[in-house]
């Protein structure tokens, strides 16, 4: 079975150089995968997503919020919350990114495993943007899979260093979606929401301690909830060198984490849709390398069964 990877050149748009969000990282990651031989790999299928539709977004986001998302917010305070300078190009790229996660979920259900080269915008709430997240791609894709009748239960495994607060809030009263977030206790958001299971880690957790946490919880959660789909947010901001995260994982630790999640879901017979999540570094090459581990883990896992 070929591994579907979802990418759109429009994931990266022209962006103020001094802005703390590394908008160029999506292109840098794509280039890194070229360097790693993914373009000519017969085991990989490259896919380009269409933009998400309003009907898909309305399964998660309110009508009023979508109006301001599409047209820009007149309230400067609300504008500040997203952390982004609004523009039509930003709207377009965000729709592509959500479309990418939607396509990734569809492909994961078809083949067992698929990855988006963006996504994981888990701070976006039903009614508003937060922390560099305008729309919650993970929530929109989970709701789509349920609304289409593809699955009855979805688990969101959010291993970004920041809590998936928007996702937790959106699915607070939805028994069809289990939200599992492992994050740094001292990281943004400073007011946490309640996921179905939150594991808040102290500063300085390393590779081994992190894997112990995953091994303690992930297999038992899969066994108890029995999802047919996992959406995995593989945030690279758990890396020791990350500008925003307070954890201390190495490059090898990220690879081991991603491989463990993919293998564990596969062993449990659950389709897995992966998104890259957060990662913040001025050094684009280092950052692209950290995000690339997910794709290497997915490729290695796929090769191990074919």
Partners of 46 in the β-ladder:
5
Contacts of 150 (CB under 8 A, 6+ apart): 106, 109, 228, 229
Minimum gap (Å) between residue 274 Cβ and Zn ion: 15
Minimum gap (Å) between residue 84 Cβ and Zn ion: 15
Q: Which is nearer to Zn ion, 38 or 125 (CB)?
A: 125
Minimum gap (Å) between residue 118 Cβ and Zn ion: 13
What are the E-state strand segments in the chain? 3-6, 44-47, 113-116, 154-158, 177-184, 197-201, 229-233, 271-275
CB atoms within 10 A of CB 193: 20
Q: Which is nearer to Zn ion, 253 or 278 (CB)?
A: 278
Binding footprint of Zn ion on the chain (CB under 5 A) = 160, 162, 235, 237, 278
Rounded-to-integer distance, Cα 5 and Cα 109, Å = 13
Whether 1 and 302 have beta carbons less than 8 Å apart is answered as yes
Q: Which is nearer to Zn ion, 100 or 278 (CB)?
A: 278
Rounded-to-integer distance, Cα 166 and Cα 125, Å = 4
Minimum gap (Å) between residue 167 Cβ and Zn ion: 12
- Closest residue to Zn ion using C-beta atoms: 278
Rounded-to-integer distance, Cα 153 and Cα 176, Å = 5
Q: Which is nearer to Zn ion, 96 or 122 (CB)?
A: 122
Minimum gap (Å) between residue 160 Cβ and Zn ion: 4
Q: Which is nearer to Zn ion, 128 or 278 (CB)?
A: 278
């Amino acid at each position: 079975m070929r591994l579907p990877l979802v990418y759109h050149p429009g994931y990266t748009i022209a962006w103020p150089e001094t802005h703390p969000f590394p908008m160029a990282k999506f292109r840098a990651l794509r280039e890194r995968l070229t360097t790693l031989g993914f373009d000519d790999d017969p085991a990989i299928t490259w896919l380009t997503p269409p933009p998400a539709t309003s009907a898909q977004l309305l399964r998660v986001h309110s009508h009023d919020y979508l109006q301001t998302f599409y047209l820009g917010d007149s309230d400067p305070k609300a504008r500040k919350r997203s952390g982004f300078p609004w523009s039509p190009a930003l709207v377009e790229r965000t729709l592509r990114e959500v479309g990418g996660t939607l396509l990734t979920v569809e492909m994961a259900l078809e083949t067992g495993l698929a990855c988006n080269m963006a996504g994981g915008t888990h701070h976006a709430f039903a009614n508003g943007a937060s922390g560099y997240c305008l729309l919650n791609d993970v929530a929109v894709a989970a709701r789509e899979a349920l609304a289409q009748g593809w699955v009855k239960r979805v688990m969101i495994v959010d291993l970004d260093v920041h809590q998936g607060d928007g996702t937790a809030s959106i699915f607070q009263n939805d028994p069809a979606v289990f939200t599992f977030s492992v994050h740094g206790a001292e990281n943004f958001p400073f007011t946490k929401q309640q996921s179905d299971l939150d594991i808040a880690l102290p500063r300085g957790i390393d590779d081994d301690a992190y894997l112990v946490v995953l091994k303690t919880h992930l297999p038992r959660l899969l066994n108890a909830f029995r999802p047919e789909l996992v959406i995995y947010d593989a945030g690279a901001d758990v890396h020791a060198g990350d500008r925003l995260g307070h954890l201390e994982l190495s490059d090898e630790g990220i690879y081991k984490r991603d491989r463990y999640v993919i293998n564990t879901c596969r062993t449990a017979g659950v389709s897995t849709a992966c998104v890259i999540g957060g990662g913040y570094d001025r050094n684009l090459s280092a950052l692209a390398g950290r995000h690339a581990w997910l794709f290497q883990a997915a490729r290695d896992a796929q090769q191990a069964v074919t």
